[in-house]
Structures are given as C-alpha cells and as structure tokens.
Structure 1
C-alpha cells in the first residue's frame, strides 16, 4: 500500500477546496429549492383569459338552431320557448363563435350602440369581448329564434362551503333533482340561517318550491347551475311572491343561479304570482341572478326603500303569449338603484304607481341605468289609487332594442309626475302596426278618464311636469304617431324639454317632425339642441403585470371650461390596495382636458395564481344633466 505524505500546507489547501465545494453545493441546493417554491407560486404568468362555464341542467332543452363556443370551449345553448340563451363568465378576452343551422345571409347583434365588430363566414358568426355584455343575436335570415348572450364578469368573493357563516341547503336533506317539493325544508333552513345572519347556499341542482318567506338578515346564494323552480302540482303563491320579502330588512339574493316561475304552465291555469315580491322591505340587494318564466311580474316593490339591483337578467317569454310580465314595478317606494340589467318580456320594463296605505306614499329617487330592454312597453308611469307624487326618477344609458311603446304616462286616477329624466336612451325599433295593448308609438301621455278604471275621474287627475328627455335617439319610430293630451291649465303637461332628439337620422326641433300629435293647448313641449357632456371609460392597457401598469381612460365630450369629477364603482376579483396600488373612487378631469388616466400598478405578484380583474363601472348623476353616461360605461383591466 502506498501512502502520500502531505505537508501541512497541502493539507490546509485540500481542506479549503472541500469547504468551497460544500459552500457551492449548499448555495446550489438553496437556489434550486427557492426555484421550486417559486414554481409553486407560479413562475409563469397566468393565462391571458379565463372562461367559466355554468353547469347546464340535465332536463334543459338544447337549441337546435344555434351552437356556441367561447375560446374554443363549447357552451350549452338552452332553449326557452321561442328564444335561446347562453350564460358564462370570463376575464381577459372572450372569443365567441356562433354556428347557425343554415348559411347566414343577414343578422343583427344588438345593442348596436356597442359597435361590436363581427365576422361572418358561411354559417358562422364570430366576435370578441373584453368587457362583460348582454347581447342579442336576431334578424338571422328569417329565423324567429333569437339568441341572448349573457357574458358575466367573474364572481367576486362567492361564498364558500365550509365557511362558518355558510350553510349548505343539502344539510337539510333537501331534494335537488326537481322531483320532490322541498318547500318545508327550505323554509326551515331560511328560518334557522336568518337567526345567525348567515348565508344559505344552494349548490347546482333543481329545488322545487312553493312560496318561500324570507326573513331579515339572510343571504340566499344561488350557485351557478342552481334553480329555484315553482312547483306545478299546486298553485305556488296566488297573489304574492314565489320569494316573499315582507316586513324584512338586510336581505340579499345573489349568485349566478336561476329563479324559474314556470309561468308558461301556471298562467293558462289562472296562476297569479310574482317571482320576487317586496312589501315593507328595506336594505335589499338583488345581484347576478337570472329570473325566468314568471306568471306575472318579475320584481314587485311596494312600500319599500333602499333597494339595489345589479346585473339581473330577466327572460319572460311565455307561450302562448300573455301580458303582465313586468320587469320592475315600483309602488310607493323610494331610494332604488337598478344597474346593468337585461329585461326581455311582454309588458312594462318598469312601471310606477302608489297609494297612501303605508308610511311611504311617493315613488321617488329611483335610478335605472346602463341596461338593455327587449320587447314590452318600455317605461310606464300609470294609475295611482290615491293622489301622490312620482318624482325624481332617472332613466339613463338604456338600449331599447325593440318595444311596443317607449313611454306611457297616465295620471288618470291620482298622481303627480314631476322631475323625470330620460338621458341617452337609444331606441332601435318600435312595433310597426298597433295591436291590442300595443300602441306602436314612442309616447302616449294622456290625462283623461281611463276606460275600465273606476277610480279615474277629472277630480282625481294629476299632472305631468318638468320632464327632461336628453339625447333620445330613435332608429325606427314605429307605426303610429305619439299622442300628448292635457286636461286643463292645472291638470296639464308642461315644461317638457326634448334636447338633442334624433328620429330616424333627423335632428328634431318641432312636434311635426317628431310625428307628435298634440291634442290641445294644455301640452307644452320645448325642443332644443346642445353640446352635452357624455362620459365613457375604456381600458387603454388591457393587461397589467409586475413592472407594466394597466390603464383606464375616462373621457368626456362637451364643455371643457370647467373641471369634471366622475365617480365610479371599483369591483373585480383583485383587491384594491392589496393586489394593486390603491385607487380612489373618483377622478377629476381638469379644465381644458377631455381625458384622464387611472393607472393599475400590480402588487404581490408572487402570490397570484390566476388572472385577476379590476372592474370599474361609472356612476351617473341622477335627476341631473351635468353629464351623461355612454354605452361604454364599464371597463376591465386584467392583472397577470
């Protein structure tokens, strides 16, 4: 055996080399471990788009006319009587392709004001969205079936099963197959959950029920794919609501599920009930749900206040057709905001009335904005039982794709209509030929004895005053002239201002060109032209990432000689001040400028698992003409 005799210096040098090797190995291991941890937190940026599909019901009928994909994912197209619809949520960009059963020669995508760029090839129609929208595909060749596209934003903080405040309805042994009447068990769950101010969670499935009486301090969450359906074995709720909110406060009904009234079954059998009925209710929030097939009205509010309704979708398409499927009825109620809704129905999109049977007498401070209406009779303000006021009402930034009539005012049995604003309303089409209960007019404003109304008499007549119609654009005015009739110098129609009225491409400055029939001297209309301030928002930089800011731009038209402060709602799956640098809820466009930018600077990048959204929606100025909202009222920046 051979031994090497190292000197002290050689031994020292060898030891030093080994120490360096160990240090390098340790550093390499630490680096690899940190890389591994970083990979768990996603070193690659999240995908540029997310599409979330809602589970279809096994009992749902598929359309035989349309098929749809979103980012190459098939989306179930549900047939409901003579229409079809798809519903999904997305972030980023949604590339939508619609395949029709036959070659497409012509089609329309509404609202036209959105100015979507679409492409057609053979039997396919395609377009892209970067902002949530409610769209209608119609006039496809000679096909009667219309396709409604309900493109939602991603849900923000939906309740999670397992959370302390969340109760799963299945814990009450409730049938979710739609085969068994579950009313008693659901009602028991409502009673129990309300006691601890909790959330009652309905997973995907069908829950057959009769009238449910909600209690104060409860949230009903309908998860995507869940349906509360009126039973067909017995009358669900005659004269009341399938969901009855009476003498309650602090109630939320939210989620991407559906409330199905089975009205097509019940109305021919004399069924008469509203889907959601509020009576003496306060602090109510309805958000995101789909209301379908009512027997009568969809949402009725009487003697109620402080109600917020957002992103509701109403599909009321009964067959055979019947009336009374109103979208939103206000009866002696106040402080109500309805934002970003779709109404498809056979009667009034909104209707007003009232009496003095409760503490609230007047309809006031009601704000309806950023919505799409199809079919029905538009904006109705009609009979009240005892004289009261309907005042401080705003309709703004609404697309009326089709209607039998735009507006009917009837103060014929009590009621004074004052301070009502229509701002930036766009009408695509009015009925060509009058039919029963369908006037084919833009306006029917009459102060006269109502036929068939025992409460209508001259001593009970009210008036119509201080009505401001700004930027009303009508593509097709309908088959009949508008009619305006006052009664006398006190019970009259006065101080009605049409500013920037445009009918069939023509600026209107007199009643004759508007096809208005002024019946007597008790009608005073004024026509003006102005340069209004219209505000819109867009995402000028759609994506944000670490070191690359996203950006919103808010712009205005009109007068720039004064600063303009615009408020907006901040939503989205990203948290303001946590996932991105905090932004305020308003911005001021300075004197002389027409644009201001809002930067979105991401934070906590290493914790991000998927695309997050910053969703801004402009607020309007109710019963004011300081500025108006445009069709581009909301925008999204996506954080990678």
Structure 2
C-alpha cells in the first residue's frame, strides 16, 4: 500500500536538503558591511587570589606552583577569575585552563625566571615546522573559554635566550653582554648564550621533529630552542585584553589553530634588536579580532601565518575571517604582514584604521617558491604611515630567495612549472593609504610562472625616495594614486606584466620619466585621466618591450 506519511517525510527531507544547499549558496560573503565576528568568552565572577595559594610578591620566591595551583582550583570549580595582585611575581611556566580568566592587576609585574631548567623540553612548532622547543612561559592547548586580562606587565626575560649581533648594540652594551658569559662567534660579530646554542645555530634543521629524531638527542641543543612567550594551540573563545607582554625570547603572542580569538587593547613591547621578536603571529586561526592594540617589536608586528611548505599544505588550515582595526605598530619589520609561512592560505582578512611608524615595511605580503598556499580576498583601508625604512607597500614572491635584477626578470625564459608548491597572491583591495617617507612607494614582484593577480589600489598618497615597481603582475589597478619620489627615472617601472591600469595618476614636480616598460611579455599598460606632460619624458621601452603595450588615453 502506498504510504502517504513516508512519502511526505521523504519529500520534506529532499526539500530541506535543497533549502540548505540553496541557503549555503546565498550566504552573503564578508564585506565591509558584513565583517567577520569573534565570539567572546564568559566567566563566573568567583575570584581566586594567588596569595591564598602561597604566592609571594617579593621577586625572589619562585611562584610557579602557587600560580598553577590557583588556576587548577579555579578551573576545577567551574572557572572564574585568577587574580594576580600588585607585586613582583617571579615564576616559571604558567599553564592556562578552560574557563579561567587570568587577571593581571595594573600594578603587577609577572617576571619569568632566568633559570632555564624550569622550562621543559616539549614537542612544539617553530616557523611552521614541528620542532622541539622549550616550554613557553604561558601556554594552553585544547582549551575553551580562556582569557588574560588586566593592565599589568608580563615579562618573558628574553635577553637570556636570544643571540645578538655586535652591530646592534652600543660598545658598552656589547661589553656587558660578553662579560655576562656565553660565547662569541669566531668572527667576533655575534654573541650566543652558550656553546650549545652556537653549535646548534650552525647545524641544519637543529631541533626539527623528523623521522628518527628523539627528545633525548634534542637535549644537546636545548638552550637553542627559544620559547615563544605565549602559545595557545587549538583553543576556542580566547580573549587577551589590556595586558602588556614584553621581552619575549622569540615570537611574543603565537596563536595556532584557534577559533574565536580576540586581542583588545593588548600591548607588545620587544627590543628593536630582538631576533624573531614578532608581536603577534596568528597562525591557521578562524574568526579573529585585533582591536585597539599597540606593537613595538624586533620583527614583524601583526603577522598572519598558516604553516610552512608541505607541512602547512598538509595541515590545510588557512587563517580566515579576521578583522584588524584601530591598532598601531611602531618599530617592526612589517606593520601588517602575511607570510612567509602561509602554505595553508589566508582569506577574508580586513584591516582598517591602523598606523605604522618607523617599521621596515608598512603593508608586507611575502612568500617564495615551495610555500604553495593561496592568499586571497584581502581588504585594507585607512592606513597612515610615516618613516618607513624600505617599501611602504610590498608584495614579494622572492622572500629569502635571490632577487633577480630588472634585466634578468625582463629576459627570464626559465619558467618553472606550476605545482601545489607554487604560491598564489590574488584579490587584494587597498584604499585610503597615506605614507610620508619611505625608501620605495610600492613593489609588486610575482614569479614568471605565477603572476600576482587582481591587486586594486585606490586613493593612495606616498612620498618616497623611489617610485613603483610592478614585476610579473596581472590585472593591477591604481586609481587616484599620488607618488612623489626623489630618485631618477623611471618613476614607474613595469616588467613582464599585463593589464595594468592607471587612472588619475599624479606625481611630484621634477619627475624626469614617468614610465619604464620592460620585457616582451608586457602588454596592455593603460593610463587614463592622467597628465603625463609635466615630466621630461613620458615613457621609455627596454628589453624587447613593444611600444603597443603602452596606451595613454
């Protein structure tokens, strides 16, 4: 007999599946009017004071056990606030637990110990590779609902861990460093914390976790494995708010494969000469907000990563759905940075209302052959920059590799095949950017086998020593772009690129030559609504470039 109920249920299931599929297709993509959001943690009001668990603020007592006991007790009772009150608190590694808000009072200084034996050797991650590390001063793995709040200071005692070059110190500082112990390199140019560190620095892949490697063997170089200050791995609903994190041994704030992650009013202070002294490294995370935060670092300021080479591609977790706003980066290698370990990709990133002062590079997007990964759908606006040491805006696929000369790039016939290890940069929208002082205004440098694609720059004003280089670019648009450069011709150098459009291009007085068109592959360079007559020469062609490639309307 025909069963009406069964038929109706089946029909409903089919209709429901179709509806869900339709809903998925129609989901509104992220845009400035529909930004990604990060869910915040929530905590019970119960407060656990570390003093009640035996901690002493004398700067002498090692409070590791007391602080961790307090965190354990708080988590075991359903969570709440662990209070670190006023005082100087000496401690070893702190382990966070779910449902705990570690609150560091404004008058509190948490000082991590210089006794390296307190940091266990663990299996961790370094620059996208599985590697042995010393235990981080603060860590948490597989946690939910966690926070570090308050306006206190957390100091990683990084100077005991880091190597440093002589030319990065004053003579007095260098003499004091050498007198403290450690080892000076044979050429007398670098100080290392120990002989083991010096040996490890000259050993390829020291500490990498590979087939046949063991913790016992890795112990030989334990001093070499500088810990990142804070490492949170695979955690959900994370809040870092108000605190100052400073003087890390390596990266300061490293979040790995986390979800719903908020940095609000965080301050990072690392010495300008701190090796690998990154501010924040957001790696393979989803739903992230960085807001009202300040970074002054020895390496990249706000950095986006997603694993390195084959390991990163195998992990396959992009950093995605992220907003960065109302933040400042002072001295750093880059203000806002993607890469170079971006093998899992990055997408749906939104950066707005940020200021970069004195960074080596302002907006920095870096990768190289072998990384793979796709970086796409990146939106940036309202950026103010001053005194940028090299490029104000940089897209570079030759990171760590040998940079070819203009002539080599224009005449390069050696084009490697595109594979899963070929990186991709595409679909960037950058607008309302002002920079007073840089060495170069803009560089876009793709690979012969993989052009950098669909880069859109609008309402940009830059004063620099040198102008613009566009190399192996495709579908590049510069609209309402002002560039003032001190260097001689050409102001804009285009090599082996196609479909590059300039609209309302403006340039400083005294510009000798506006365009240099290079390479046989260059085509469809179009200039509209722009007055090129103010320069002594509009355009020159080199290295086989066809004059038909340049169109001025």
Q: How does 1:231-380 map to 2 (within 5 A)?
A: 231-234=113-116, 237=119, 238-268=133-163, 269=193, 270=224, 272-317=226-271, 321-355=273-307, 356=312, 361-376=317-332, 377-380=334-337
- Where does residue 498 of structure 1 map in the other structure? 457
Match of 1:210 in 2: 92
Give the Cα separation in 2 of the matches to 1:235 and 1:378.
35
Larger CA Rg, structure 1 vs 2:
1
For 1:93-492, what aligned pairs fall within 5 Å after superposition?
165-196=46-77, 197-234=79-116, 237=119, 238-268=133-163, 269=193, 270=224, 272-317=226-271, 321-355=273-307, 356=312, 361-376=317-332, 377-384=334-341, 386=343, 388-412=344-368, 413-431=371-389, 440-448=390-398, 450-451=400-401, 459=419, 460-476=421-437, 478-480=438-440, 482-488=442-448, 491-492=450-451
CA contact (8 A) 1:445 1:485 kept: yes
| Structure 1: tracts of 5 or more residues without a match | 1-158, 432-439, 531-640
Cα pair 1:221 1:254 within 8 Å, conserved = yes
Aligned counterparts of 1:404 and 1:461: Cα–Cα separation in 2: 26
1:180 and 1:524 map into 2 onto residues whose CA distance is 66
Question: Structure 2 length normalisation: TM-score?
Answer: 0.59
Superimposed CA distance per residue, residues 112-161 of structure 1 (whole angstroms, 9 cap, x where no aligned partner): xxxxxxxxxxxxxxxxxxxxxxxxxxxxxxxxxxxxxxxxxxxxxxx9xx
Gaps of 5+ in 2: 1-42, 120-132, 164-192, 194-223, 403-415, 468-477, 506-553
Distance 1:228-1:236 versus aligned 2 partners, 3 A rule: farther
- Report the counterpart of residue 198 of structure 2 in structure 1: none
Partner-residue secondary structure (3-state), 1:185: helix
Does 1:521 find its partner at 2:482? Answer: no
CA separation of 1:340 and 1:481: change in aligned 2, threshold 3 A: closer
- 3-state SS of paired residue (2:145): strand
* Structure 1 pair 343–404 and aligned structure 2 pair: CA distance change class (3 A): same
Give the distance between the partners of 2:96 and 2:115, measured in 1 at CA. Answer: 22
Q: State whether residues 253 and 287 of structure 1, in contact with CA within 8 Å, keep that contact through their aligned partners in structure 2.
A: yes
TM-score under structure 1 normalisation?
A: 0.51
- Please report how far the alpha carbon of residue 405 of structure 1 lies from its aligned counterpart in structure 2 after TM superposition: 1.0
CA distance in 2, matches of 1:271, 1:206: 27
Distance of aligned partners of 1:391 and 1:288 in 2 relative to their CA distance in 1, 3 Å threshold: same
Report how far residue 336 of structure 1 moved. 0.4
SS at match of 1:504: strand
Q: Are the aligned partners of 1:332 and 1:353 in contact in 2 as well (CA < 8 Å)?
A: yes
Aligned residues of 1:286 and 1:309 also touching (Cα < 8 A): yes
- Gap change, CA 1:208 and 1:303, over 3 Å in 2: same
8 Å Cα contact 2:92-2:113 kept in structure 1:
yes
CA contact (8 A) 1:473 1:503 kept: yes
Does the aligned pair in 2 maintain the 1:271–1:295 contact within 8 Å?
Answer: no
TM-align CA RMSD: 3.2
Q: CA deviation at 1:299?
A: 0.9
SS at match of 2:380: strand
Tell whether the 8 Å contact from 2:313 to 2:373 is kept in structure 1 after alignment: no
Please say if residues 483 and 517 of structure 1, whose CA atoms lie closer than 8 Å, have aligned partners that are also in contact.
no
Cα distance between partner residues in 2 of 1:202 and 1:518: 56
Change (3 A) 1:409 1:359: closer
d(CA) in 2 for partners of 1:171, 1:457: 64
CA distance in 1, matches of 2:143, 2:291: 23
Distance in 1 (alpha carbons) for counterparts of 2:482 and 2:444: 10
Confirm or deny: 8 A CA contact 2:461 2:482 kept in the other structure. Answer: no
Structure number with the higher helix fraction is 2
Structure 1 distance, partners of 2:356, 2:86, is 33
Cα deviations by residue, 1:418-468 (Å, 9 ceiling, x for unpaired):
11112100001112xxxxxxxx1223322247439xxx9963122211111
CA distance in 2, matches of 1:501, 1:423: 10
Q: Is the 8 A contact 2:256 2:283 kept in 1?
A: yes
